[in-house]
């Protein structure tokens, strides 16, 4: 492909990734701003995220076979057309219920865009560079969508409110629609690959993955053991996935090869990806929640997210330049150390910590994320191709389950951890707050003095001071809880780095033994 045309395909890939990423992130990044126009509480607004992720978590599994049977161009044109229609319908949202329904269909319509973003980037490169430069740039585009959404959202809301976000999503969808028609992908040979049992298996997989996505998205808000329907949904998830597994294990040509998925090599690969997603929750969930607790809004965090975006872009370009087979362990070691050091720096936060204090640490974590995923995906894709083209779909299942569901699980796990640790620290701090302590009494008097001119009743004035002190105790407990989460993530990164080093030493010893054995046999 000529360089000029290759550049156009790379731009189209970036456009598709931004279209999909902005549509996915603009709700999660602006939940407080959406509550007013939709007349929703903070608890109800979380369902917008759950509705989007429920179909999105599994639909790419079905799209692989649909693309192979009905043609790549038909798949691309229909996918972007459906997304465009859903984007237009978003403009007419007036209440929460219609918004939840549209977010569900938006999650379905956006599933082809992530695939197309990958394919357009890979189209621009020769086969030898698809799994190095191509995959690095494609994943960089996907990672850039989240920080860019938080950077542009405050400016758009200032200009035209929440509807300005919808207009941007619609504009991107129109541009992507034009790009797909002007820049067709290389057609692939069609084959009749969809069987009747594929549809049945996929329906159970979709129910299982969708139930898991809903549980992870809203479980922390309603709390895991308080809402009875969460337990019912968990039973539905387990039953659906069990039925799908039974169907797939008894088919001659399964939709997903479960025996290969549960092999030692693939389980190790899946564990690496899950651990990565858990560590990246430091940036996507813990750090953002910390500043929200401190009372900061998105417009005060644009500098921080600009650093994150620049670090993500730089690390993606570096990874594209250095990624080659056999370099994956070294790149992963650097990524883990960056994430570990960044999380450890964040674990020293106080109530005076502001975004500029985390520029370095968050840039390190973003760079670690940009370096970690491309080598892992390239190695997994190569592992699947080694077994045969039919194993690519099984690999996609591993990737989707660890990234989409893993991202939700990471946010849910660390969000719940912060809640529990906040209660723990609140109890410890409250036990030390006694009115007989002169320091506590002085603090209450200092806090209540601001209301001395408006409240003349001394008992009410003292009660107001106690309430203000209680708020400060809760704030400090939240800071300590977030520091605990940062520190746990740092420990995870260090433990993963140690495990990687031990694994590499074991592999080297094994290879050396095999070489010496072969030499002895030859002698």
- Model confidence over 464-501: pLDDT tens digits? 777 777 778 888 888 888 888 889 888 888 888 888 88
**Distance in angstroms (rounded) separating the CA atoms of residues 471 and 477:** 10
Q: Between helices 196-222 and 42-70, what is the axis angle to 10°? A: 160
Q: Are 469 and 439 in contact (CB under 8 A)?
A: no
CA–CA distance, 338 with 310 (Å, rounded to integer): 15
User: CA 454, CA 450: separation in Å to the nearest integer?
Assistant: 9
Kindly give the parts of the chain with pLDDT less than 50: none
Dihedral of alpha carbons 377, 381, 384, 389, sign = positive
Structural Rg of the chain based on CA atoms: 25
- H or E segment to which residue 137 belongs: helix 135-160
Could you tell me which of 301, 311, 357, 308 has the C-alpha nearest to residue 155?
Answer: 301
pLDDT tens digits, 428-469: 877 777 777 777 777 777 767 766 667 666 777 777 777 777
The predicted pLDDT at position 523 comes to: 61
Do residues 141 and 18 touch, judged by C-beta distance below 8 A?
Answer: yes
Predicted pLDDT at 456: 66
Q: In this predicted structure, what is the pLDDT of residue 73?
A: 67
Identify the pLDDT of residue 391.
65
Between the CA of residue 114 and those of 57, 213, 231, 323, 490, what are the distances in Å? 12, 18, 32, 22, 30
| pLDDT confidence of residue 406 | 77
CA distance 49 to 60: 18
Ordered alpha helix ranges (H), 282-324: 288-293, 302-322
What dihedral do alpha carbons 121, 142, 330, 346 form, nearest 10°?
A: 160
286: closest CA among 372, 352, 220, 373?
220
pLDDT at 457: 67
Sign of CA dihedral 291, 293, 298, 299: negative
pLDDT score recorded for residue 522: 67
Q: Supply the pLDDT for residue 120.
A: 82
Predicted structure pTM score:
0.82
pLDDT of 383: 73
The token pair at 259 is 């025996």
């Amino acid at each position: 492909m000529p360089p000029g045309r290759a550049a156009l395909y790379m731009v189209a890939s970036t456009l598709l990734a931004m279209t999909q990423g902005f549509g996915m992130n603009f709700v999660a990044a602006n939940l407080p701003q959406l509550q007013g126009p939709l007349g929703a509480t903070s608890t109800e607004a979380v369902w917008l995220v759950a509705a989007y992720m429920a179909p999105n978590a599994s639909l790419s599994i079905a799209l692989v076979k649909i693309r192979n049977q009905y043609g790549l161009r038909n798949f691309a044109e229909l996918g972007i057309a459906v997304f465009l229609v859903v984007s237009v319908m978003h403009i007419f949202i007036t209440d929460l219920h219609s918004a939840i329904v549209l977010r569900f269909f938006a999650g379905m319509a956006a599933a082809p865009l992530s695939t197309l973003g990958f394919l357009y980037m890979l189209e621009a490169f020769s086969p030898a560079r698809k799994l190095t430069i191509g995959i690095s740039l494609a994943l960089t585009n996907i990672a850039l969508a989240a920080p860019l959404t938080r950077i542009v959202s405050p400016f758009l809301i200032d200009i035209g409110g929440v509807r300005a976000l919808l207009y941007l999503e619609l504009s991107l969808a129109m541009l992507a629609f034009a790009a797909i028609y002007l820049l067709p992908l290389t057609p692939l040979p069609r084959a009749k690959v969809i069987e009747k049992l594929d549809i049945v298996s996929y329906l159970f997989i979709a129910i299982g993955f969708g139930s898991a996505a809903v549980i992870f998205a809203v479980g922390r808000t309603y709390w895991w053991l308080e809402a009875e329907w969460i337990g019912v949904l968990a039973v539905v998830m387990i039953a659906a996935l069990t039925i799908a597994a039974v169907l797939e294990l008894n088919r001659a040509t399964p939709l997903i090869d479960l025996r290969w998925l549960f092999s030692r090599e693939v389980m190790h690969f899946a564990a690496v990806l899950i651990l990565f997603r858990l560590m990246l929750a430091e940036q996507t969930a813990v750090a953002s929640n910390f500043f929200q607790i401190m009372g900061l809004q998105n417009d005060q965090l644009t500098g921080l997210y600009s650093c994150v975006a620049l670090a993500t872009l730089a690390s993606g370009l570096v990874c594209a330049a250095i990624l080659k087979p056999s370099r994956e362990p070294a790149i992963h070691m650097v990524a883990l150390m960056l994430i570990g050091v960044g999380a450890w720096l964040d674990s020293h936060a106080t109530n005076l910590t502001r975004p500029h204090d985390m520029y370095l640490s968050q840039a390190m974590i973003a760079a670690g994320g940009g370096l970690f995923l491309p080598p892992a995906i390239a190695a997994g894709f190569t592992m699947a191709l080694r077994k045969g083209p039919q194993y690519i779909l099984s690999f996609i299942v591993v990737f989707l389950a660890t990234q989409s569901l893993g991202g939700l699980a990471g946010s849910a796990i660390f969000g719940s951890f912060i809640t529990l640790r906040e209660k723990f620290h609140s109890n410890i701090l409250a036990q030390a707050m006694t009115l007989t302590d002169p320091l506590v009494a002085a603090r209450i008097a200092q806090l209540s003095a601001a209301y001395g001119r408006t409240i003349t009743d001394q008992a009410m004035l003292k009660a107001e001071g106690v309430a203000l002190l209680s708020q400060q105790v809760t704030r400090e407990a939240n800071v300590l809880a977030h520091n605990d989460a940062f520190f746990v993530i740092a420990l995870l990164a260090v433990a993963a780095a140690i495990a990687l080093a031990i694994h590499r030493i074991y592999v080297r010893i094994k290879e050396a033994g095999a070489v010496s054995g072969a030499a002895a046999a030859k002698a």
